[in-house]
């Protein structure tokens, strides 16, 4: 079977160009020194997300089109978290020479499709050889709202609002780690694997939240870490209501089947990461309207706590503080191993 090394760099660029579709009107796409994008006056959003084989994904866990699509979705999530519109992306690939051409083509197809669907077509990038694993690095551009929603800005009394459900990605990761094969045998397993492989794209929800929120971020790291990122820059803290957390529905089934304790779904939600939902600090008077507008576009959102004056993050159950315990083998990690 032909490998990437057999086909060469020009072939990779040609596949990317074919799958990216036409360049933006008035612009220049893949193949020149730089891409050219027409822009209205305003402010630009730029974000970047690098995925390393063996750290962020494994080739034997997910089909290549989903690895590509997830790489884009993780980037789009950052634009959504500012309340912005995705505009375009550039994709750099470090490719092991032994990769089969067919595998790479499928990855690029999934990547390009997700990019087009999210409104951020691939307009350029770079391809280089890798002596080790595959690295996918995407930089995404977006158009900012008049007033982009930063992580800073939360105020005491703000509602902490979360879209969708939490802990599904970590549940899927746990299944993969126990040897589950895509697409998953049991219904709960399939749901968990899918949740890990296919993050939600919350651009529309980000625009709704962006019109009201004091502060917003996406939940790419642990939920608890993201709550802290939202309140600690203002010198504030937060109380999170444990019973209000929207847990991944199949979490209990996954935990049971994997022989894990009954509170593992909660740990996945709090410390799991990669849920790519949005977390926003919304003024309480705006919350009912925000919830209604989100429901109208098919997004369930939950008020899971409050921003408070006292620093630190408190998990509260029935009015009592619950210790924030990662549990044995807990998930949520610093990328270099420090805790």
Site residues for its own copies, window 140-159 (CB under 8 A)? 140-142, 144, 148, 150-152
Cβ atoms of 61 and 119 within 8 Å: the answer is: no
Of 231-290, binders to its own copies (CB under 8 A) are: none
For its own copies, give the closer residue by CB, 125 or 168: 125
* Distance, CA of 88 to CA of 139 (rounded, Å): 9
Q: Which of 62, 66, 72, 82 binds its own copies (CB under 8 A)?
A: 82
Q: What tokens appear for 177 in the block?
A: 């780690």
Q: How far is CA 35 from CA 23, 24, 26, 59, 91, in A?
A: 9, 10, 11, 30, 12
* Distance, CA of 187 to CA of 191 (rounded, Å): 6
Q: Which of 71, 72, 73, 79 binds its own copies (CB under 8 A)?
A: 79
For its own copies, give the closer residue by CB, 43 or 187: 43
Instruction: Write down the H helix ranges in 118-233.
Output: 168-177, 187-197, 203-210, 223-231
For its own copies, give the closer residue by CB, 78 or 253: 78
Read out DSSP for 114-132? HHHHTT--EEEEEEEE-SS
Indicate whether 44 belongs to the interface with its own copies (CB under 8 A).
yes
User: Which of the ranges 53-61, 177-185, 191-199, 242-250 carries the binding residues for its own copies, by CB under 8 A?
Assistant: 53-61
Q: Which of 14, 17, 36, 186 binds its own copies (CB under 8 A)?
A: 36
* Distance, CA of 122 to CA of 20 (rounded, Å): 5
- The residue among 244, 227, 224, 245 whose CA lies nearest residue 236 is 227
Q: Which of 1, 22, 25, 33 binds its own copies (CB under 8 A)?
A: 33
Cβ atoms of 150 and 82 within 8 Å: the answer is: yes
Shortest Cβ distance from residue 124 to its own copies (Å)?
6
Of 183-222, binders to its own copies (CB under 8 A) are: 216-218
Shortest Cβ distance from residue 336 to its own copies (Å)?
5
Q: With left for phi above 0 and alpha for psi between -120 and 50, is residue 130 left, alpha or beta?
A: beta
Indicate whether 177 belongs to the interface with its own copies (CB under 8 A).
no
Q: Which of 16, 20, 45, 67 binds its own copies (CB under 8 A)?
A: 45
Shortest Cβ distance from residue 150 to its own copies (Å)?
5
* Distance, CA of 214 to CA of 234 (rounded, Å): 11
Q: Which of 65, 105, 137, 250 binds its own copies (CB under 8 A)?
A: 137
337: number of Cβ within 10 Å = 6
Indicate whether 51 belongs to the interface with its own copies (CB under 8 A).
yes
Q: Which of 67, 91, 282, 304 binds its own copies (CB under 8 A)?
A: 91
Indicate whether 10 belongs to the interface with its own copies (CB under 8 A).
yes
Q: What tokens appear for 309 in the block?
A: 């004056």
Of 310-339, binders to its own copies (CB under 8 A) are: 334-338
Q: Which of 22, 131, 259, 323 binds its own copies (CB under 8 A)?
A: 131
Indicate whether 126 belongs to the interface with its own copies (CB under 8 A).
yes
């Amino acid at each position: 079977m032909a490998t990437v090394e057999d086909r060469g760099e020009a072939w990779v660029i040609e596949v990317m160009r074919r799958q990216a579709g036409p360049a933006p009107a008035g612009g220049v796409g893949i193949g020149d020194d730089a891409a050219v994008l027409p822009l209205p006056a305003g402010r630009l959003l730029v974000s970047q997300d690098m995925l390393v084989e063996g750290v962020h994904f494994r080739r034997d866990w997910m089909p290549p089109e989903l690895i590509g699509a997830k790489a884009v979705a993780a980037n789009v999530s950052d634009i959504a978290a500012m309340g912005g519109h995705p505009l375009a992306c550039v994709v750099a690939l470090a490719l092991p020479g032994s990769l089969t051409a067919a595998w790479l083509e499928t990855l690029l197809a999934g990547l390009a499709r997700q990019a087009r669907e999210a409104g951020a077509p691939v307009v350029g990038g770079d391809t280089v050889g890798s002596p080790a694993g595959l690295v996918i690095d995407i930089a995404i551009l977006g158009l900012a709202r008049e007033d982009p929603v930063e992580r800073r800005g939360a105020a005491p009394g703000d509602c902490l609002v979360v879209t969708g459900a939490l802990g599904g990605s970590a549940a899927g990761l746990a299944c993969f780690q126990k040897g589950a094969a895509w697409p998953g045998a049991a219904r709960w397993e399939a749901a968990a694997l899918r949740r890990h492989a296919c993050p939600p794209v919350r651009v529309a929800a980000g625009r709704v939240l962006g019109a009201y929120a004091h502060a917003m971020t996406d939940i790419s790291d642990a939920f608890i870490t993201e709550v802290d990122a939202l309140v600690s820059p203002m010198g504030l803290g937060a109380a999170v209501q444990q019973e209000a957390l929207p847990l991944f529905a199949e979490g209990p089934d996954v935990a049971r089947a994997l022989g894990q304790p009954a509170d593992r779904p909660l740990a996945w939600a709090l410390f799991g990461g990669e849920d790519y939902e949005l977390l926003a600090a919304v003024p309480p008077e705006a919350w009912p309207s925000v919830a209604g507008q989100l429901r109208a576009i098919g997004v369930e959102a939950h008020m899971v706590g409050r921003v408070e004056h006292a620093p630190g993050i408190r998990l509260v159950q029935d009015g009592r503080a619950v210790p924030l315990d990662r549990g044995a083998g807990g998930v949520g990690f610093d990328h270099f191993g420090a805790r």
